Chain A
Amino acid sequence: MKLSINWVKEFVSIPTNITPDELVAAITLSTCEVEGQEFYGSNLSQITVAEVVKIEQHPQADKLSLVTVNKGTEEEQVVCGANNFKIADKVAFAGLGVKISEDFTISKAKIRGVESCGMLCAEDELGFSDDHDGLMILDTDAIVGMPLSEIYPDHMDLVLEIDNKSITHRPDLWGHYGFAREIAAIYHQELEPYSPKPLAIGSGEPALEVEILNSELTPRYTGLGLNGIQIGPSPKMIQHRLFRVGLRPINNAVDVTNYVMVELGEPMHAFDRATIAGSKLVIGLAKVGEKLETLVGKTAEFTANDLIISDTKKPIVVAGVVGGLNSGVTDATTEIFLEAANWEPVSVRKTSVQIGLRTDSSQRFEKSLDAELTVPAIWRAVELLKETCPDLTTTGGLFDHYPEPAQIPPIEISTNFINRRLGTDLSPEKITDILTRLEFKVSASAESVTGSVYPLKVTPPSFRATKDIKIPEDLVEEVGRIYGYTNITPQSPKFAIVRPTVNPWIQMERTIQSNLVDQGLFEIYCYPLTDEQKESKFGCNPKGVMRLLNPVSDTHKQMRTSMLPHFVERVYNCQKDALGFGLFEIGRVYNKIESEGKTTVVEKNHMILAISTEKSKEVGSAFYQLKATLISLFNGLQLDGYSLAPKVNLESFQHKNIQAEFLKEDQSFGELYQFSPAFAASANLKGEVAIAKIDLDKLFKFDKSEYRYSEPFKYPAVHFELSIVVPKQVTFGQIKAELEGASSKVQFISFVGVFALENDQKSLSVQIEFRDHEKTLDPEEIKNLQDLMIATIEKSGFHLR
């Protein structure tokens, strides 16, 4: 919302020593957020009235003319592009050195070869409107040479931009008068009462009969018929003010309703009496499918929940939102019905959402406006209209439906409560003073004063009581913000020492992150939102997918059920820079399970890892690298007793021979694989890429092994190396198991190397460690063990190389 400080000053005087920056700081620290400030008319004292004396064609340019004006003391010739003026018109002249905007100061210039010593201004250049169609033509009686600042003093103004979100809870701040009240409280100033002069009310029945079918949605409805309307432009000051606060002046009748809305915060509407069929308005819920072409051009189609105003034949207004084109004020209007209502906020909000139209009016009604505003609004509008319509009279009496004037219960509070919440030591007098300045009624409660507890009964004013102020905590805020939060001395809370609770999940996550980062992997975050097409490439099951009702992008339409699709995209992107890298992400996948008509949303914690390497002659180099990474990670997590086995049910994108799953306690808790050549090609992946997926929920639950001390070995080990020829498919694990099983003196088998031989055979070299825990092995025993190893190999059908 835009706030004109000149407008505010109609109701309160701001101490003259307060600078604009100080005023902004005071509003910011006590009331709401000020997003920006704009100065209007700072150059008006240098821009003067000039009279057009001569108009000639520019010798070089068809669209320009040479205009000679009389500035009062002398004449000046300027080059001008406009053509909406004639000899003897009064125009606004800006001479050399006058700053028109931040990046435009008038200087002597040759325009198409002709010198120009100044500028004749259009309205937009002076900030009066956004009109740039021609020069601003001043009143014929304007005195030549007079600065514009004397003609339009109100236009030398400071306009603040208030952050609307910061006044969502303050219906009273949606008009200038509300801010005047705040400023009066902040600076201890008197606030001018808002008391427009009522016209003598015509006797008898109101001009229109108003039937209210849904009183629960219409807490108050006030209307007045007015005759003697002459439609024309509003006075300049009203037009300029409306423009400065972001509204477009239309005509005197419409402008008055807007003016009162931004002044008092009460939206109004003016009907053209002549367009109303019959002499009755009906306020009630619409019939499904009823339509209304609105004043802003959009056609609203109603549901049975939308409150509308109709005449005897047709809908004419969307209650609280917007008027219809069929009943608005036109140049021919002579009689109007002026409305100031109070609508139920949720109903206005729902209808505004339903018809897709948010207006200055609906924005205010949504905030729960004070029903007491309607009558002052009507009389203020009448007072303003009288300025342009001297023959204005009322037709009939004031219609005022207000069945249940708001009852405002007092809030019981104590000064002690306020001080405890704020951490202050304010006296009862100080607290009472602050609340009274904000127009709260404060009385000592019937209960007696005990110690530092001064019980108070505080009744909020009607304009704060609709929603904002209900409970004692609300009063704490009122006292705190006016006292000034910057005046509160920081204090340390008292802490009891309690048993600390560490979060083991967070600890596991941190161990994983540090371990993998130490191992050279990069942590990435991917969007948990994805789309069906992306998921289906990875064979994700669409059953139980959580789909968004209101996605904002085609690629973010549902929750991911697998972390793989986005992750592989990132691997592909990173490969553009280099082929050797590792990535990981810790995240969630989402699903819903329906059983017995109940939906349960399941969020599973997963981790996904990738190692990308250059193309290698060694088959499975990326696989082996990622396997090593994972084993180091599991060691870091103190996970023991797991095994790797080939997966039985493979996904179509997985390599059928370079894959495995991690098993522990008969559960699969992860998988490790490279992509099938076909998939890698279709995903444009280069080099070698291995992927691992780990189920973190399972990993978290597994028992972890503890470290234990063991006695150092007393007797030395003896090592023995063997190279065995085996078929390609025989694994190191098999050979290891055979050898380990052959004797209790075999302590350890380690892998030395492997290379391929002809006929699908390979040579596998292993090192065996023999050790006896009771004594040193003698040469004969060693010989026997070596022979046993060779015999074991041969018994298995293999032979030494």
Chain B
Amino acid sequence: MKDTLNQIENDFKELLSKAADSKAIEDIKIAFLGKKGKFSGLMQNLRTLSNEAKAEAGKEINILKGMLSTKIESHLNNLKVAEQEAKMDGEWVDISLNPKAKTLGAYHPVTLTQRRLESIFTAMGFQILDGPHIETEFYNFEALNIPKHHPARDMQDTFYFEDGHLLRTQTSTIQIRGMENLTPPLRIIGSGKVFRSERADASHDSCFHQLEGMMVDEDISVAHLLHFSKAMFSELFGEEVKVRLRPGYFPFVEPGFEIEMACLICKGKGCSVCKRVGWLELMGCGLVHPQVLKAGGIDSNKYSGFAFGIGLDRLAMMKYGISDIRELHNGGLDFLKDFTLPSEGAK
């Protein structure tokens, strides 16, 4: 019996060492452990033995059987791993390709600028408003303390319509409409298209964009305007900025200012970016003229406020290095693609 078992074990080892794939191992498994395998033949032979010898032989057969089946399983497993490895070796992608590219479109650069500012202002508690583009003289001029024949009307080359309406020359019209509909304390901004009857060139266009805002409460002061501007521009430019006010004339504010920021490149020393002045003009602003508060239905004895206006196109042009304002209304596909990234992705 022992010899027979030894013989079986040797045969098994030899066959197994030659088995190259899982199919061959499955065949070995059937040949040795299957219903008609070598072990079932052995079991037939056991009947002829004495009970004692039967028990002895049975034990040895079971040990060998267990060993064989463990070897088969482990061999089978090794082979499977090797086969999957081989499969993976054969698989490969070209990571320089992007055959399923999803191209992203792009926002208009003025939308990008407007959204950036609007999110800063909404975070500061300002409410966003808008108004009509076609306005009356009242909202565009009179309510803003610019009566007929006021020399300040020269500063704004206005498009008029046959019926006396006009195209708003400034988003300040939104302030008046805002004050009419809201009660102080209020913090509002309005942005959108404005129009001037100017001949177009690289830095002027007949249609451009402004963002205008105001804050009205009791005892709003120049010191508040300074703090607000500094906070707002620091967030916009992503670093602490230095701002200063200088007198500027706008009929709808008193006192009126131009707000300037120390040039971020030279820190106020003067360089080519700031035309050697050291300071960049950012926006017109001031304390709201009492006449304007009155026109908006607000008690100017009780309340005061500050107001400001920013040109969005100039800001967008500065930020993205656009050299001709007319591109904003005419740019072709190559211009539009400057505000998104290529679908080929990173290099």
Contacts and interface: CB of A to CB of B under 8 A. Distances in A.
Interface of A: 28-33, 165-170, 345-346, 349-350, 366-367, 420-424, 471, 473-474, 476-477, 480-481, 485-486, 488-496, 498, 500-501, 503, 505-506, 510, 513, 516-529, 546-553, 556, 559, 570, 573-574, 576-578, 581-583, 588, 590, 592, 599, 601, 603
A599 B163 contact: yes
Contacts of A168: 151-152, 154-155, 249
A33 B258 contact: yes
A513 B125 contact: no
13 contacts: A420-B221, A486-B245, A500-B125, A501-B127, A510-B115, A517-B105, A517-B106, A517-B107, A547-B161, A551-B159, A570-B330, A570-B332, A603-B134
A524 B331 contact: yes
B206 A503 contact: no
A473 B254 contact: yes
Contacts, number: 218
7 A-B pairs closest in CB distance? A423-B223, A477-B255, A423-B221, A490-B227, A577-B333, A490-B226, A485-B245
B27 interface: no
B207 to A, nearest CB: 6
A346 B149 contact: yes
A559 B134 contact: yes
Given A29-B247, A424-B223, A524-B336, 9 more contacts: A420-B219, A423-B221, A485-B245, A489-B223, A528-B193, A549-B162, A550-B160, A581-B333, A603-B132
B255 A481 contact: yes
A423 B105 contact: no
Nearest to B305: A493
B280 interface: no
A503 B159 contact: no
B143 interface: no
A471 B254 contact: yes
Contacts of A346: 148-149
Contact of B128 (A492, A506, A550): A506
B248 A166 contact: yes
B198 A552 contact: yes
A582 B105 contact: yes
Contacts of A367: 151
Contact of A549 (B133, B160, B207, B230): B160
B226 A488 contact: yes
Given A546-B165, A553-B200, A491 B227 contact: yes
Nearest to A474: B254
Interface residues of B, number: 79
Given A349-B151, A516-B105, A577-B334, A556 B226 contact: no
B295 interface: no
Nearest to B290: A473
B227 A493 contact: yes
A494 B197 CA distance: 41
B47 interface: no
Contacts of A551: 159, 197
Given A491-B221, A549-B161, A165 B249 contact: yes
A307 B13 CA distance: 126
B255 A513 contact: no
A421 B161 contact: no
Contacts of A601: 132, 134, 165
A33 B248 contact: yes
Contacts of B251: 169
A529 B104 CA distance: 30
B215 interface: yes
A536 B197 CA distance: 24
A527 B207 contact: yes
B222 A422 contact: yes
B289 A473 contact: yes
B45 interface: no
B161 A513 contact: no
B222 A423 contact: yes
A592 B256 CA distance: 37
A17 B330 CA distance: 53
B300 to A, nearest CB: 9
A523 B105 contact: yes
Nearest to A518: B104
A521 B197 CA distance: 32
A549 B228 CA distance: 41
Contacts of B151: 168, 345, 349, 366-367
B332 A573 contact: yes
B72 interface: no
A423 B228 CA distance: 13
A169 B249 contact: yes
Contacts of A550: 159-160, 197
A522 B111 CA distance: 12
Contacts of B130: 505-506
Contacts of B2: none
Nearest to A578: B333
B255 A476 contact: yes
Contacts of B127: 500-501, 503
A162 to B, nearest CB: 12
A85 B105 CA distance: 73
B102 interface: yes
A445 to B, nearest CB: 17
Given A489-B223, A527-B329, A552-B199, A421 B287 contact: yes
Contacts of A556: 206
A631 B223 CA distance: 51
Given A471-B254, A493-B228, A573-B332, A522 B134 contact: no
A495 B107 CA distance: 34
Contacts of A421: 221-222, 287, 304
Nearest to A166: B249
A501 B337 CA distance: 35
A68 B85 CA distance: 100
B206 A552 contact: yes
B35 to A, nearest CB: 35
Given A423-B224, A491-B227, A518-B104, A603 B133 contact: yes
Contacts of A498: 125, 185
Contact of B221 (A422, A474, A477): A422
A528 B254 contact: no
B105 A519 contact: yes
Contacts of B336: 522, 524, 574, 583
B103 interface: yes
Contacts of B155: 165, 168
Contacts of B65: none
Interface centre among B149, B227, B290, B333 (most CB of A within 10 A): B333
Contacts of B246: 28-29, 33, 485
Nearest to B115: A510
A206 B148 CA distance: 38
Contact of B149 (A349, A422, A503): A349
Contacts of A577: 332-334
B105 A485 contact: no
Contacts of A523: 105-108, 111
B244 A480 contact: no
Contact of B257 (A170, A473, A485): A485
Interface in B104-118: 104-108, 110-111, 115, 118
Contacts of B287: 421, 473, 476
Interface string B218-260: 0111111011101000000000000011111101001111100
B206 A525 contact: no
B310 interface: no
B129 A548 contact: no
A485 B337 CA distance: 44
A399 to B, nearest CB: 29
Nearest to A581: B333
A165 B248 CA distance: 9
A490 B230 contact: yes
B328 interface: yes
